[in-house]
Amino acid sequence: MQIVLYILSGLAGGVIGGMGMGGGTLLIPLLALLGVEQHMSQAVNLIVFIPMSAVALIIHIKNKLVNFFPLVFFPAVLTAVIGSLIAVRLDAGSLRTYFGIFLIVLGTAYLGQELMKKYFAYTLKKVVFGNYS
pLDDT in tens, 12-51: 877 777 666 666 677 888 888 888 888 888 888 878 878 8
Determine the Cα–Cα distance for residues 40 and 28; give it in Å rounded to an integer: 9
Determine the Cα–Cα distance for residues 23 and 12; give it in Å rounded to an integer: 8
Task: Provide the pLDDT for residue 109.
Answer: 93
Residue 130 pLDDT > 70, yes or no? no
pLDDT in tens, 51-73: 877 887 888 889 988 877 778 77
Record the pTM.
Answer: 0.55
Residue environment code for 94-129, b if the CB has 16+ CB neighbours within 10 A, otherwise e: ebbeebeeebeeeeeeeeeeeeeeeeeeeeeeeeee
Cα Dmax for the chain: 59
Let me know how many helices (H) and strands (E) the chain has, helices first. Answer: 5, 0
